[in-house]
Amino acid sequence: MSGQSPDPAKRRIDVAAAIGYGICAVAILSLQPLAFGPLVEAGWLSESRLGEIAGLETAGLALTSAILPGWLTGNFFRLKLAVLAALIVACNVATPYAGYSTGLLLVRLLCGLAEGGVLAGAFVVLFHTGNPDRMNALFLAVSNTVIAIVSYIIPTVILPVYGTPGPFMLMAGLGLFGLVMIFAVGHKPEAMAAPVSSWRSWPFATWLVLLGIILQNAGVLSAWVFLESTARAANLGAQPLALSASLGILAQVAGATAIALVGYRLPSGKSLMIGSSMLAGAIYWLGHPMGAVSFVLANVLMGACWLALLPLSIKLICEIERKHHALYLTAAAQMVGLSIGPLVSSLFVSEQSVEPAYLVGFGMAVMAVIALGLAANSPDRIRRTH
């Protein structure tokens, strides 16, 4: 950062503020079922349009998270972010009153574009404070902890008391909190080129890492979305399903926290190979449970590996690409993977069996291992790290 203070306390404030406003940008990714489901039940939205709206918002988030870092940096950094955060607030307030499908589509697309910009602004600060891999792990751990709490509050408190507008009012509240946090950032990031404008200078290995991130997230979501169907087909009952889902989320937080605290010191190449292989195995295992305990353990292993691997992938990019501009495409790569995973796996499942979804997810995870292995052993990385 330009004029960055050496005072560790001020740097910690910048990091805390960036995490604070970044949460309002990513919360919707986990809260879409809880927020939009009641709209379907109320007849405001058809189930067929639900997927379209959720997918379009995620696509908007991915797009602006990739293209806006360069625009945000330099002059008026906080003002630009404040406008985007205010737009998130306005869109969430307007959502319950936007009418039927078309109005909701436009409002949520606009919200997704604003969310991606705020997420880009969070990463601009976090990645400029040093140790981008550790900062990403810290962001994942804190944000998922907050989202897990909110996920519990919405069905138990918000919906019974406030009805269908409640979840969106809560997300508007997160946006207001983010708006306050934006002005707590003490140092503006120095101007930088837009990441997408510098891609021609990146080593090929950089693209392999981004591909690995896409494939990993696609593989996980290919399995995750059919969790309930798998438990039902195996006659496991409601309790193992609830336990698996909750412990899986806690495992995600634990995986990211472990990397933030100590795991960032691990060698990125070997760690990614081991962790990615474990992730692939967990996806396959989850689709072929041998009982309730097996089902829960497989989901816990998948969750722990999932959020631990992204910070390690960021560390690998830092070892390959000198200017680190590709770091700002990691969020977009993650969103792309989350979008295409369920879409691809849905082409192979049927009412009789969802097992093919896990085979698709396993195949994607294996391809991620190959892509990351090639990147870790590329001449560009070897030249810069040896």
Q: What is the 3-state secondary structure (H, E, C) of 19-57?
A: HHHHHHHHHHHHHHHHHHHHHHHCCCCCHHHHHHHHHHH
Cβ partners under 8 Å of residue 55, min gap 6:
339
Q: How far apart (Å, rounded) are the C-alpha atoms in residues 22 and 11?
A: 16
Residue pair 213/334 in contact (Cβ under 8 Å)? The answer is yes
pLDDT in tens, 61-117: 999 998 898 888 878 999 999 999 999 999 999 998 886 667 888 999 999 999 999
Mapped onto helix, strand or coil, the DSSP state of residue 248 is helix
Eight-state DSSP code of residue 350: -
Angle (CA) 339-227-356 rounded to 5° is 75
Picking from 172, 167, 61, 173, the residue whose alpha carbon sits closest to that of residue 122 is 61
Tell me the residue length of the chain. Answer: 386
Start-to-end Cα distance in the chain: 28
pLDDT at residue 192 in the model: 66
Q: Is the dihedral of CA 248, 122, 328, 3 positive or negative?
A: negative
Pull the structure tokens for residue 172: 């508007």
Q: Give 331-341 pLDDT, tens digit per residue.
A: 889 989 988 88
pLDDT score at 194: 65
C-beta atoms surrounding 75 within 10 Å: 8
Element (H, E) at 210: helix 204-224
pLDDT score for 188: 72
Point out the residues of the chain with pLDDT beneath 70. 1-6, 45-48, 51, 99-101, 191-199, 382-386
CB contact set of 375 (below 8 Å; sequence gap of 6+): 205, 206, 208, 209, 212, 316, 320, 381
The C-alpha R_g of the chain, in whole angstroms, comes to 20
Q: Among 94, 39, 329, 357, which Cα is nearest to 209's?
A: 329
Please give the Cα distance from 108 to 103 (Å, whole number): 9
Query: What is the distance between the alpha carbons of residues 373 and 209, in angstroms, rounded to a whole number?
Result: 9
- pTM, two decimal places: 0.84
For residue 71, count CB atoms less than 10 angstroms from its CB and return exposed for 0-12, middle for 13-18, buried for 19 or more: middle
pLDDT score for 6: 46
Cα 357 to the center of its chain, rounded Å: 21
